[in-house]
Amino acid sequence: MQKMTNEELLKIIEETAKNRVTQLDLKESGLTSLPPEIGSLTHLKRLYLNCNKLESLPPEIGKLTNLNRLYLRDNKLTSLPPEIGNLTNLTHIYLRSNKLTSLPPEIANFTKLKGLFASDNQLKTLPEEMENLTEISTLDLRRNPLPIPPEIIDNIAEPSLIIQYLHKYKPEEAKALDRAKIQLLGVKGGGKTSLLQRLISDKFDRQETPTASIDIQPWEIQVDDRQIEASVWDFGAQECMYFAYQFFITQRSLYLLVVDATKGQKENQIEYWLELIQSFGGNSPVVIVINKVDEQHIKLNRSKLYSKYKNIKAFIETSCLQNQGIEELKNIIYREIITLEHLQEQFQPTWFTVKEKLEQIEKVFIPYSEYERMCRSEAIIEESDQRNLIALLNDLGSVVYPKDDRLKDGNIYNPKLVIEGIYKVLNESEFSDRYRGIIKLNQLNPILNNLKYSIADAMCNFELAFEVEEEQKLVIMDLLAEEQPKIGEWEDFLAFEYHYNLLPSSIISRFIVRNQKYIENNKYWRYGAVLDKDGDRALVKADLQNNKISIWVSGATEKARDKF
């Protein structure tokens, strides 16, 4: 590159202005600066200054109001003067390979701008005024230290998405979530609802109506200088809903396992609940609340439970009637809730926006693709961020979307609507007493109205039921007859057993739902089924009282056994 002298440059500028030239090429001229006289070139439409050593532009550059293309690639510019905003006729500006750390807000005056090329600079942010560049069709900001994921910034033909993302991504505005989920679990009649009322409003009603479905109540908890918005989930304790609980037992929650002191340890199913929490709640803290101690005392092997279930944080005895132990329980809750890991993390405002949008949806479920579009509209583009957000919202109870494969359909569920719908179906006495769990889909109309198909789909995806499509029937596992139908003799077949410490009814129910297409001639009931796979037959049934599942296979061959 041959360096142009100042005298040579001034002569060129003078001749260009005199002759009203509209295009000037000064690229590769070794220029380190431009003289103020550059402002006399008011007729220029194109100015080429590529491949020089310019470190700044003089304010007089703003006088070139007829420019529509300005070429400044491969220089050493660290900033642009505010006066550049006077170039309102610019349609393209080329700034690649400089040292720009920012763009001036006056860039908003480029209302005719179609292309801005500023890759390979030091830009860390963009001025909000860029939103005014409504005509821009190409925005190249690649290889800048901007907090924009590659899949966004590399798409230079989508300027609005790039600008939108950056303006919604504001690390300085990240804040703590200060939201938590508390769940009360335990068998029916243990006093969960009364305990909840004591905790939140210090009230007690001896005639308290048992929770029929689910009650989710807000609770403002003040811990030191932080105010935590807790949602407290009180589940109705119908045994038919036990399997569905696994979809609502989540990580990052605090669990109050309410034990009825008037019942034995086996009746309280303490280890059943602890196993369920351990399986799906991760390391979420558990407080065991021994309630109704004014009536009776129950002896628990606390050291054994502490040793086996490491997430037990405390045992506390309470009486809602006498208001005993409630303040101590509150203090334990305050102590444990503040330790939940997500309360220590900082989240972008856009995450809060998506959370609020999802909570306002009045459908039983939406497809995951709709959630992805929602995220993209809020500039949450990276798949990992979308997955982390939906996992958090599942744990907080805003949605139901387990991160494992328990739900096969990929839908995101509204927890309140889906729980209430399932409760209505499972508690419809006619479905169990008269129809023994096998109903026509149109029989859901009176209790579910326009939600019947959504709830039926949800029950199938939760493996609470399966649909016989050709007959438009829904088979509801927990409402099936308990009696075994006539299935013939199975004494001479290969037999083996699986033994469990605890055997929830959901294991056999899920097995039958998953193998529905192999059921032989409608030979199934609540606790078993006869299956036929290509001529090989099996009888599978559960004995809940003895915690075992027995299997008989028609034939002594390994091939037959492996099928089941």
Could you report the per-residue pLDDT of 286-306, keeping only the tens digit for each?
Answer: 999 999 999 988 889 999 999
H or E stretch covering 12:
helix 6-18
CA distances to 124, 144, 351, 473 from 101, rounded to whole Å, are 6, 9, 28, 65
**What value does the mean pLDDT take over residues 97-117?**
95
Question: How far is the C-alpha of 169 from the C-alpha of 146, rounded, in Å?
Answer: 10
State how beta strands 346-347 and 175-176 pair: antiparallel
CA dihedral of residues 519, 525, 529, 532 (deg, nearest 10): -20
Residue that wins the pLDDT comparison between 210 and 233: 233
Confidence (pLDDT) at 266:
81
Distance CA 311, CA 304 (A): 13
Amino acid sitting at position 372: E
Tokens linked to 327:
């303040």
Asked if the model's pLDDT at residue 72 lies above 90, the reply is yes
pTM: 0.68
Per-residue pLDDT at 556: 46
Token digits of residue 515: 């193998």
- Which pLDDT does position 563 carry in this prediction? 60
Distances (CA, A) of 132 to 109, 129, 205, 525: 8, 6, 60, 66
In this prediction, residue 226 carries a pLDDT of 87
Higher model confidence: residue 563 or residue 118? 118
Closest CA relative to residue 43, chosen from 63, 73, 70? 63
The predicted structure's pLDDT at residue 409:
66
What element of type H or E holds 238? none
End-to-end CA distance of the chain: 79
Q: Kindly state the tokens that stand for 500.
A: 């469990």
Single out the residue of 487, 465, 464, 463 nearest to residue 474, CA to CA.
465
Q: In sequence order, which ranges of 27-148 are alpha helices (DSSP H)? A: none
What pLDDT is recorded for position 506?
A: 79
What's the number of CA atoms in the CB half-sphere (13 Å) around residue 2? 3
The phi, psi pair for 460, rounded to 5°, reads -70, -40
Cα–Cα distance between 255 and 279 in angstroms, integer?
13
Identity of the highest mean pLDDT range in 47-56, 183-192, 222-231, 374-383: 47-56
pLDDT of residue 557 exceeding 60: no
Query: Average per-residue pLDDT in the chain?
Result: 88
- Give percent of the chain with pLDDT exceeding 90: 53
C-alpha count within 13 angstroms, C-beta hemisphere, residue 98:
29
- The pLDDT, as a whole number, for residue 173 is 67
Q: Which residues pair with 92 in a beta bridge?
A: 69, 115
Backbone region of residue 476 per phi and psi (left: phi > 0; alpha: psi in -120 to 50; beta: other values): beta
Note whether 441 and 473 are within 8 A (CB): yes
CA distance 325 to 340: 23
Q: 105, 100, 107, 92: which is closest to 121 by C-alpha?
A: 100
Helix (H, G, I), strand (E, B) or coil at 201: helix
**514 neighbors 462 (Cβ within 8 angstroms):** no
- Averaged over 551-558, what is the pLDDT? 71
**Contact assessment for residue 512 and residue 477, using Cβ atoms and an 8 Å cutoff:** yes
Average pLDDT estimate for 127-139: 90
Yes or no: say if 458 and 418 are a contact pair by the CB < 8 Å rule.
yes
State residue 74's pLDDT score: 96
User: Alpha-carbon dihedral of residues 112, 115, 121, 123, nearest 10 degrees?
Assistant: 50
Of 470, 466, 449, nearest to 457 (Cα)?
466
pLDDT for res 555: 60
Burial class, 385, CB count within 10 angstroms (exposed 0-12 / middle 13-18 / buried 19+):
middle
CA separation for the pair 125, 136 (Å, rounded): 18
520 within 8 A of 543, measured Cβ to Cβ: no
Q: Which two tokens stand for residue 291?
A: 């309630």
Q: For every residue of 147-161, which 3-state class applies, written as one string?
A: CCCHHHHCCCCCHHH
User: How many Å apart are CA 523 and CA 519, to the nearest integer?
Assistant: 7
Q: What is the pLDDT of residue 405?
A: 62
Q: pLDDT for 239-260, tens place per residue?
A: 656 666 677 788 889 999 999 9
Q: Partners of 413 in the beta sheet?
A: 365, 400
Q: What H or E segment, with its residue span, contains residue 399?
A: none
Give per-residue pLDDT as tens, 350-405: 888 999 999 999 899 999 999 999 998 887 877 888 888 998 898 888 998 876 66
What are the structural domains of the chain?
6-169 (3.80.10.10), 176-343 (3.40.50.300), 348-435+443-461 (1.10.10.10), 494-562 (3.30.310.200)
pLDDT > 80? residue 346: no
